[in-house]
Structure 1
Amino acid sequence: MLEIEALVQWISSLVAQYLYAGVFVAAIIETVFPPVPTFAIFPLAGYFASQSKMSLLEVIGLGVAGGAGATIGSTIIYFVCIKLGRIALLRYLRYAKITDERLAKIEKWFEKYGDKAVFFGRMVPVLREMISIPAGLLRMRPVKFITYTFFGSCVWSISLTLVGYYFGVITVEIF
């Protein structure tokens, strides 16, 4: 647990020091290593943006940088799943208590709702990181996967960044 706390501290300082680049890199890390919470990145970036008196357009740019980073992280997971294949992946997923039967149900659901699942799944905590697995296993077209991932990730990261920005502005106005 201490390692995760240290990683979150490091990511927070990365975002604070390098804002756009920090958010981009932090989003990649957050997507590839799910223990890093999304809520440690985007609202924090929004808060720092408010303290720096950034414009609303610049704050949206932070969210887009985060969406781009999350897309790269998700695409890494997507291609790893294509490369490993179902059988090899099941060996790793058993640690997450995902059985062959459960994975089959997920795949069946994904075949029915794949496009929407990727887009909306990027806005749901935990599912954000996991949605790349069935997309890779079922070999969703890469351009389609990247497009839906990017736009879904941008909606999520812009929203959370704006929340942090809004509360940062309110804090300044109150005090």
Structure 2
Amino acid sequence: MDQIIELFRHLINPAWIIDNGGLYLLIAIIFAETGLFVGFFLPGDSLLFLAGFYGNELSASFHDAPFVVLMLLIAVAGVLGNMVGFWFGRKSGPMLYNRKDTFFFKKKHLHQAHDFYEKYGGGAIFFARFLPIIRTFAPIVAGIVGMDRKKFMFFNLIGSFAWVFSMMLAGYFLGKKFPGLKDHLELIVIGLVVVTTFPVLFKLLFGKAKGPIKTEAAKATEESESK
């Protein structure tokens, strides 16, 4: 656990990120958080904001590439991450409900993402981008329940680009307008974490437990048996 906390501290330190992988590290983290269930604890929102705040330094560390190129590459990583999550849900959905809970995997996160999907339909893939934990498991659930691939890709694309561009541009322009905030970034990061995780934590603490998620095939089988 101490190692996880230490890693989190490093991941909200812009200087450490730039010195230890820069854009490559950011791409890897966004890919993992948006498609691999082991990445649910990664601080995607604050990372993107900090990447924007330190946009000039990040660009310099990546061959002086324009800032918009950085955003495009990170957004593509988010798209690919969701595609992997969707594929994993399609192939391994039933197996996940026989898997025991670990630190990196908890079935309640799947149930939570499923509730979100049931409430918002295809739009859940878009809205989930802005919610920690949910954004990791939403594409997996979409794969499990058999969401149409074209519909999934549509919301996947616009969701990833909207999330990455909004977070990074907010950090970029705030850094330009108020450069003195670099001395108080830890407070901004804490604020972002609180605002973005509160709805999820509330659901985890007070939401009711749900039964297993059923795939479309399982639902069809049950309906045929009941007739």
The TM-score with structure 1 as length reference comes to 0.74
Contact 1:19 1:45 in 2 (8 A): no
Contact 1:81 1:136 in 2 (8 A): yes
> Does structure 1 residue 135 correspond to structure 2 residue 138?
no
Measured after TM superposition, the shift of residue 152 of structure 1 is 0.5
CA–CA distance in structure 2, aligned partners of residues 81 and 128 of structure 1: 14
What count of residue pairs does the alignment treat as equivalent?
169
RMSD of aligned C-alpha atoms?
Answer: 3.6
Give 2:48's match in structure 1, choosing from 33, 42, 59. Answer: 42
Secondary structure class of the residue paired with 2:121? helix
Superposed, which structure 2 residues align to 1:138-153 within 5 Å?
Answer: 138-153=145-160
CA–CA distance in structure 1, aligned partners of residues 146 and 126 of structure 2: 16
Measured after TM superposition, the shift of residue 19 of structure 1 is 4.7
The equivalent residue for 2:33 is 30
Measured after TM superposition, the shift of residue 145 of structure 1 is 1.6
Question: Which 4+ residue blocks in structure 1 deviate beyond 6 angstroms?
Answer: none
Greater Cα radius of gyration, structure 1 or 2: 2
The equivalent residue for 1:72 is 80
Aligned residue identity for 1:85 = G
The equivalent residue for 2:163 is 156
Superposed, which structure 2 residues align to 1:61-140 within 5 Å?
Answer: 61-86=69-94, 88-92=95-99, 94=101, 96-98=106-108, 103=111, 106=114, 110=117, 113-140=120-147
Measured after TM superposition, the shift of residue 69 of structure 1 is 0.9
- Ranges in structure 2 where 5+ consecutive residues have no aligned partner: 61-65, 183-227
Greater RCO (Cα-Cα under 8 Å, separation 6 or more): 1
Measured after TM superposition, the shift of residue 128 of structure 1 is 1.1
Q: Cα–Cα, structure 1 residues 84 and 110, in superposed 2: closer, same or farther, change >3 Å?
A: same
CA–CA distance in structure 2, aligned partners of residues 174 and 82 of structure 1: 44
Measured after TM superposition, the shift of residue 82 of structure 1 is 1.1
Q: Cα–Cα, structure 1 residues 53 and 146, in superposed 2: closer, same or farther, change >3 Å?
A: closer
Between structures 1 and 2, the one with greater helix share: 1
Identity among equivalent pairs (%)? 24
The TM-score with structure 2 as length reference comes to 0.59
